Amino acid sequence: MSVSLETDETFDQVIKSNEKVIVKYFAGWCGTCRLMAPKYKRLSEEEQFSNVVFLDVNAEHNPQARKVAGVSNLPFIATFKNGELIEATPVSKIDKVKELLENF
């Protein structure tokens, strides 16, 4: 599966219409976000996570989606199950993202 870039206009519908969703909040100026992007994409392509929808949200341009997860720092990861926020945390290491997915 690939990573889908979502906006405030589409965010709610996507998280509510999929059982498991993981969201990476980023900003264009965030160096750590840019470094994490290809690793996050590779995780989205792993067979063990094929039942999870991977999203990217630009936190600067999508205040509603940012507010839903309580984004406080970037990069920031949030997991949603059936539209409900399960976990939300600032993350700088892809290992933490993988751990969140394995416990999802």
Tokens of 59: 């936190």
| 33 among known catalytic residues | yes
Sheet containing 84-90: order of strands: 3-6, 53-58, 20-26, 76-81, 84-90
Residue in 75, 76, 72, 64 with CA at minimum distance from that of residue 15: 64
Q: Which of 14, 30, 55, 74 is catalytic?
A: 30
Query: What's the CA gap between 90 and 24, in Å, rounded?
Result: 10
Q: Which of 14, 33, 59, 97 is catalytic?
A: 33
Tokens of 63: 């205040």
| 87 among known catalytic residues | no
Residues labelled catalytic? 30, 33
